[in-house]
């Protein structure tokens, strides 16, 4: 009896969010049509499909939070809502003819590098496939993190995370607990306040909140975007430059951030008349240390009579209550019917890293266990030939659009592939020296930034306090560094030699 060989594809891309779609489009444009996008969800969109919580929106301006090669003249708001971004991604996928190349409801469950065949063996929920190259476009914010609260399993009410919102669950009249006060929570809390009978917001750290300068674009503006050549590009360039300027405060002169803090404190004072509540909501770290939040309706929602902001430590969940403990040891029980977790994602310990095994048979998570996440240019990793992780370590931004970083990485990938082809090379992985040198330089740059030295705990830092998530400087510097791949940074395998003949480029 013969066993059918697994399907072989030149490039498998995991994920169909901004990063996955961008890779597919650019591979096509370069004439590299043998690729497949596998998507665990039932639709394209990645994080913009998963995060459908009420009033989910983007806090980066619409004209900037879109592909440079696919401008959208019809954005309806200065800051787009999730459904509009999802529509945009669907349209981009359709317009670029990607639909037949995207396999939905197909999760990658594991991948291992086969050193003999020099290919990736990829296990998916729909079977095994092999690929010359594996592009992980799974995003840094894709695996919900739910705290392991004592007693949570005994809770008899409803629980869900912001990224897996239960739209069938009616909050009307319920006692609802929201745990977390990050970028997601501040967007859905006003909705919950309007619908729930009683809302308890459990806040561990008060975030900095600035006014959101949002507005609806007028029809005439949308028409002009279509009619005036270059207008949208100019709008985008202006937004880009303004956003880049935030970085001066974050990394060059943190004292400048005091200006932003004054604006935020005025916003708080204007929107929260009660001095006790205001004190609870006043941050105790430098603005920028965590993501700066933008909202006009979060503080007013917290000021409503059906809301309490709880700052005591969470100690336990009971069958229908959450128990907290104050600084003096007093315990209080807060009755709740539904708990909504706005507690973020596994960023510095992504589960996808436990699913991918490199040349030595160890997983990415095992490679990163000691020193934390690390890669060359946030995408290529020593020991993992032909693995390209988009928006990997140290590519996150606290100030600008991640789409810029994605496009830079995809350009770099295409350049690297051309060079490999031109030199008759089959596989490449960064040398340990190139990867280590690159990361040492990054870490030195990060030392004095507000993210490392701003006096807060955030998902930017891993368990060892190392910042393995953010790009430390201007985005144009990232784009400059990724304009061309330098083969000297790589160990390569010629197409015709045996695996043992791996040579430094
Ligand atoms: P997040 O920013 O990580 O916030 C998580 C919140 O949960 C924080 O307030 C955190 O408190 C709290 N928390 C976590 N574990 C807890 C525990 N064990 N006990 C009590 N509180 C706990 O998560 P997120 O709001 O989902 O946002 C994640 C990222 O997604 C954002 O930073 C942003 O990059 C992205 N995002 C972007 C947009 C956008 O508009 N573009 C919108 C939503 C999200 P501490 O602060 O004390 O840690």
> For residue range 37-69, what is the model confidence (pLDDT) as tens digits?
999 999 999 999 999 999 999 999 999 999 999
Pair 452, 391: CB distance under 8 Å = no
**Dihedral angle computed from the Cα positions of residues 381, 39, 116 and 364, in that order, rounded to the nearest 10 degrees:** 30
Burial of 255 from C-beta contacts in 10 A (0-12 / 13-18 / 19+) = exposed
Q: How far is the CA of 186 from the centre of ligand 1 (A)?
A: 9
End-to-end C-alpha distance for the chain, whole angstroms: 43
What CATH architecture is 152-213+239-341? 3-Layer(bba) Sandwich (3.50)
Does the C-beta of 344 come closer than 6 Å to ligand 1?
yes
178 lines ligand 1 (CB under 6 A): no
CB environment 56-76: b (16+ within 10 A), e (fewer):
bbbbbbbbbbbbeeebbbebe
For residue 4, the model assigns a pLDDT of 78
Could you tell me the distance, in angstroms and rounded to a whole number, from the CA of residue 207 to the centre of ligand 1?
Answer: 10
* Ligand 1 center from residue 290 Cα (angstroms): 9
Distances (CA, A) of 88 to 13, 30, 343, 397: 20, 23, 27, 22
CA 110–ligand 1 middle distance (angstroms): 28
Residue with tokens 């028409």: 223
Tell me the CA distances in angstroms from 407 to 18, 26, 221, 475, one per residue in order: 9, 9, 27, 11
The finding on whether 342 has its CB within 6 A of some atom of ligand 1 is: yes
CB-CB contact of 333 with 321 (8 Å):
yes
β-bridge partners, 325: 313, 331
Q: How far, in Å, from the CA of 457 to the mean position of ligand 1?
A: 11
**Residue 184 CB–ligand 1 contact under 6 Å:** yes
Using one digit for the tens of pLDDT, what is the confidence trace for 119-135? 999 999 999 999 999 99
Atom of ligand 1 nearest to the CA of 60: 41
Q: Is the CB of 398 under 6 A from ligand 1?
A: no
Tell how far the Cα of 168 is from the centroid of ligand 1, in angstroms.
24
Q: DSSP states of 157-196 as a string?
A: SEEEEGGG--TT---BT-EEEEE--STTHHHHHHHHHHHB
Smallest CA separation from ligand 1 atom 28, residue: 344
Q: 297 C-alpha to center of ligand 1: Å? A: 18
Assigned CATH for 8-143+346-504 = 3.50.50.60
Extended beta strands in 295-369, E state: 307-310, 313-318, 321-325, 331-335, 338-341, 356-357
Pocket test for ligand 1, best of 149, 184, 451 (most atoms within 8 A of CB): 184
Q: Is 459 in the pocket of ligand 1 (CB under 6 A)?
A: yes
* Beta carbons within 8 Å of 260's beta carbon, 6+ residues apart: 208, 210, 249, 287, 288, 292
Judge if the beta carbon of residue 83 lies within 6 A of ligand 1: no
Geometric angle at alpha carbon 17, from 83 and 403, rounded to 5°: 95
Distance, in Å, from the CA atom of 134 to the CA atom of 129, rounded to the nearest integer, reads 11
Where do the DSSP E strands lie in 39-118? 102-103, 108-114
314 in contact with ligand 1, CB cutoff 6 A: yes
pTM for the whole structure:
0.95
Closest C-alpha to ligand 1, atom 20: 204
Report CA 286 to chain centroid distance, whole Å: 22
Q: Which atom of ligand 1 lies nearest, measured to the CA of 294?
A: 40
The ligand 1 atom nearest the CA atom of 186? 25
What pLDDT shows up at residue 500? 45
Identical fold, 8-143+346-504 and 152-213+239-341:
yes
Residue boundaries of the structural domains of the chain:
8-143+346-504, 152-213+239-341
Residue with tokens 């401008």: 71
pLDDT score recorded for residue 375: 98
Per DSSP, the residues of 228-284 read STTHHHHHHHHHHHHHHHHHIIIII-GGGHHHHHHHHHHHHHHH---HHHHHHTS--
Q: 84 C-alpha vs ligand 1 centroid, how far in Å?
A: 22
Q: Can you give the three-state secondary structure of 433-492, one letter per residue?
A: HHHHHHHHHHHHHHCCCHHHHCCCCCCCECCCCCECCECCCCHHHHHHHCCCCCHHHEEE
CA dist 406 and 22 (Å) reads: 8
Reading across the β-sheet that carries 490-494, which strands appear in turn?
425-430, 490-494, 503-504
Strand pairing class (108-114; 198-202)? unpaired
Strands (DSSP E) contained in 342-424 are 356-357, 387-389
Whether 180 is in the pocket of ligand 1, judged by its Cβ within 6 Å, is: yes
Q: Encode pLDDT of 229-285 as tens digits.
A: 899 999 999 999 999 999 998 888 878 899 999 999 999 999 999 999 999 999 999
**How far apart (Å, rounded) are the C-alpha atoms in residues 463 and 46?**
26
Question: Does 204 contact ligand 1 (Cβ within 6 A)?
Answer: yes
CA-closest candidate to residue 373, choices 466, 239, 454: 466
Neighbours of 102 (CB within 10 A): 19
Per-residue confidence in pLDDT tens, the chain, 505 aa: 556 788 999 999 999 999 999 999 999 999 999 999 999 999 999 999 999 999 999 999 999 999 999 999 999 999 999 999 999 999 999 999 999 999 999 999 999 999 999 999 999 999 999 999 999 999 988 899 999 999 999 999 999 999 999 999 999 999 999 999 999 999 999 999 999 999 999 999 999 999 999 999 999 999 999 999 899 999 999 999 999 999 998 888 878 899 999 999 999 999 999 999 999 999 999 999 999 999 999 999 999 999 999 999 999 999 999 999 999 999 999 999 999 999 999 988 888 899 999 999 999 999 999 889 999 999 999 999 999 999 999 999 989 999 999 999 999 999 999 999 999 999 999 999 999 999 999 999 999 899 998 889 899 999 889 999 999 999 999 999 999 999 999 999 998 655 545 555 5
């Amino acid at each position: 009896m013969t066993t059918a060989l697994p399907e072989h594809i030149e490039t498998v891309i995991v994920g169909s969010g901004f990063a996955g779609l961008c890779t597919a489009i650019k591979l096509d444009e370069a004439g590299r049509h043998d690729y497949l996008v596998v998507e665990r969800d039932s639709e394209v969109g990645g994080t913009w499909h998963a995060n459908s919580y009420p009033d989910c929106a983007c806090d980066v301006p619409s004209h900037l939070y879109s592909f440079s090669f696919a401008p959208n003249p019809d954005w309806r708001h200065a800051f787009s809502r999730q459904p509009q971004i999802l529509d945009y991604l669907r349209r981009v996928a359709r317009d670029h003819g990607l639909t037949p190349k995207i396999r939905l409801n197909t999760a990658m469950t594991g991948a291992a590098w086969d050193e003999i065949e020099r290919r990736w063996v990829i296990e998916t929920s729909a079977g095994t496939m092999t690929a010359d190259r594996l592009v992980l476009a799974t995003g840094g914010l894709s695996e919900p993190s739910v705290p392991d609260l004592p007693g949570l399993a005994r809770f008899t009410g409803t629980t869900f995370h912001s990224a897996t919102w239960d739209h069938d669950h009616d909050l009307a009249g319920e006692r609802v607990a929201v745990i977390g006060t990050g970028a997601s929570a501040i967007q859905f809390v006003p909705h919950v306040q309007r619908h729930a009978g009683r809302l308890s917001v459990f806040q561990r750290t008060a975030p900095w909140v600035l006014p959101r300068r949002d507005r609806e674009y007028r029809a005439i503006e949308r028409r002009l975007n279509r009619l005036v050549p270059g207008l949208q590009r100019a709008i985008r360039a202006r937004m880009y430059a303004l956003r880049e300027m935030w970085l001066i405060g974050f990394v060059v002169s943190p004292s400048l951030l005091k200006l932003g803090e004054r604006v935020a404190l005025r916003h708080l004072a204007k929107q929260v008349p009660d001095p006790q509540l205001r004190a609870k909501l006043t941050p105790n770290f430098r603005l920028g240390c965590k993501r700066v939040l933008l909202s006009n309706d979060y503080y007013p929602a917290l000021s409503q009579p059906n809301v309490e902001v709880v700052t005591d430590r969470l100690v336990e969940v009971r069958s229908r209550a959450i128990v907290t403990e104050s600084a003096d040891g007093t315990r209080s029980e807060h009755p709740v019917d539904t708990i909504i977790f706005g507690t973020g994602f596994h960023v510095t310990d992504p589960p996808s890293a436990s699913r991918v095994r490199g040349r030595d048979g160890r997983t990415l998570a095992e490679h990163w266990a000691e020193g934390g996440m690390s890669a060359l240019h946030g995408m290529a990793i020593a020991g993992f030939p032909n693995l390209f992780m988009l928006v990997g370590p140290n590519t996150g931004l606290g100030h600008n659009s991640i789409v810029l970083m994605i496009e830079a990485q995809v350009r770099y990938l295409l350049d690297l592939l051309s060079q490999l082809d031109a030199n008759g090379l089959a596989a490449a992985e960064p040398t340990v020296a190139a990867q280590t040198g690159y990361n040492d330089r990054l870490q030195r740059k990060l030392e004095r930034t507000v993210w490392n030295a701003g006096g807060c705990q955030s998902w930017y830092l891993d368990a060892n306090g190392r910042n393995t998530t953010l790009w430390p400087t201007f985005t144009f510097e990232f784009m400059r560094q990724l304009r061309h791949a330098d083969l000297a940074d790589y160990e390569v395998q010629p197409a015709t030699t045996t695996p043992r003949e791996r040579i430094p480029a």
